[in-house]
Amino acid sequence: MEIAAASTVSVAPQLPRLTNAFSRKLGSISSLSFGSLKRNYCVGKVSASSSVDVITADKISPASFLDKRETGGVLHFVKYHGLGNDFILVDNRDSSEPKITQEQAAKLCDRNFGVGADGVIFAMPGVNGTDYTMRIFNSDGSEPEMCGNGVRCFARFIAELERTCKGKTVVLTALWVVQVKVDMGIPILKAQDVPTKLPGNKGEAVIQAELVVDGVSWNVTCVSMGNPHCITFGTKGGPLPEIGPKFEHHEMFPARTNTEFVEVLSRSHLKMRVWERGAGATLACGTGACALVVAAVLEGRANRKCTVDLPGGP
Ligand SMILES: N[C@@H](CCC[C@H](N)C(=O)O)C(=O)O
């Protein structure tokens, strides 16, 4: 079921390195927008508060991981996606510790033995004057600094929680499909802050530099949107599961990297495949889409305003 988009929520990430803070004092500062978000419920019954009841762990096995953190053995969650980049969202506003561990998150994200997702997002109490903080674990359990589609889902989730809680400022006029715009902040180009060990070749930035991957030479530009991205243009490549991990774990990327393989269709139309750090091939990556437009502009391949086609949509 889909109802037309009706609500726009802007998000200002204020601590791009470690946390993504969601401020209720929202200005209209969006500079990049993505496609609509959709909410999928994947298991169990949908309750009035839009959470999903999972069968209590103790009915399955006393050692089941879900009963270790949440009272009563129930983890309430919803499943959202942005262009098919899908996340399990947990209301963690009552604690500064995530309700599940990184290992448990990896199990939940397993598409065969768990719920299945690209990551788990926690809506945490605010820090430094913000109302909320987002934390996210990738599907391998690692913790990234930032996630563009994740922060959109997070904004949508907060909007829904606030609506449920009443008396707050976020207005939601339709369910199911909502446009959420995110201010992604300023890209970081300084090599050591991306981070990459590739030496800066345009000042401290790494732009169209040579990277040898498994004996093959690639031209790459390195951009951080809070999390590291390595962008390469052209049609060269191969199956993502083969080539992606070689970039992700390349010695030039001390914090590993997300990698975007980009085709330039025109100066305002780009097409990307992505291999995400800690999650593999995903249908969409918001930080990746932004990073590749930055790279395309820096390499003189595209205008500053572009449509990016991702496997999950434009
Ligand atoms: N899909 C996300 C990025 C998620 C984090 C990434 N896997 C990382 O480890 O940096 C997005 O939409 O930005």
Is the minimum distance from the CB of 244 to ligand 1 under 6 angstroms?
no
Is the minimum distance from the CB of 150 to ligand 1 under 6 angstroms?
yes
Per-residue pLDDT of the chain (314 residues; tens, 9 = 90+): 222 222 222 222 222 222 333 332 222 222 233 344 554 332 222 222 222 222 223 333 444 443 344 456 788 899 999 999 999 999 999 999 999 999 999 999 999 999 999 999 999 999 888 889 999 999 999 999 999 999 999 988 988 887 654 444 343 444 445 677 888 999 999 999 999 999 999 999 999 999 999 999 999 999 999 999 999 999 887 899 999 999 999 999 999 999 999 999 999 999 999 999 999 999 999 999 999 999 999 999 999 999 999 999 99
In ligand 1, which atom is closest to the CA atom of 227? 10
Distance, in Å, from the CA atom of 233 to the CA atom of 218, rounded to the nearest integer, reads 9
Distance, in Å, from the CA atom of 172 to the CA atom of 141, rounded to the nearest integer, reads 32
Which residue owns the Cα nearest ligand 1 atom 1? 285
Q: Which pLDDT tens digit goes with each residue over 239-297?
A: 999 999 999 999 999 999 999 999 999 999 999 999 999 999 999 999 999 999 999 99
Output the CA 249–ligand 1 centroid distance in Å.
Answer: 16
Distance, in Å, from the CA atom of 269 to the CA atom of 314, rounded to the nearest integer, reads 10
Contact 133, 21 (CB under 8 A): yes
Output the CA 194–ligand 1 centroid distance in Å.
Answer: 14
Length reported for the chain: 314
Instruction: Using alpha carbons, select from 101, 144, 15, 181 the residue that is nearest to residue 135.
Output: 144
In ligand 1, which atom is closest to the CA atom of 286? 12
In ligand 1, which atom is closest to the CA atom of 285? 12
If you write DSSP's letter for every residue of 57-125 in order, what string do you get? Answer: HHHH-TT-GGGGTSGGG---BEEEEETTEEEEEEE-TT-SS-SS-HHHHHHHH-TTTSS--SEEEEEEE
Output the CA 147–ligand 1 centroid distance in Å.
Answer: 4
**ipTM of model over 0.95:** yes
Strands 85-91 and 32-33: unpaired
Predicted model pTM = 0.79
Is the minimum distance from the CB of 258 to ligand 1 under 6 angstroms?
yes
Instruction: Using alpha carbons, select from 39, 74, 71 the residue that is nearest to residue 56.
Output: 74
- Residue 72 has a pLDDT of 60
Q: Which pLDDT tens digit goes with each residue over 6-21?
A: 222 222 222 222 233 3
Query: Under DSSP, is residue 276 helix (H, G, I), strand (E, B) or coil?
Result: strand
Distance, in Å, from the CA atom of 50 to the CA atom of 40, rounded to the nearest integer, reads 11
Distance, in Å, from the CA atom of 283 to the CA atom of 242, rounded to the nearest integer, reads 17
Is the minimum distance from the CB of 20 to ligand 1 under 6 angstroms?
no
Instruction: Provide the β-strand partners of residue 309.
Output: 271
Is the minimum distance from the CB of 259 to ligand 1 under 6 angstroms?
no
Residues with active-site annotation = 147, 285
Is the minimum distance from the CB of 139 to ligand 1 under 6 angstroms?
no
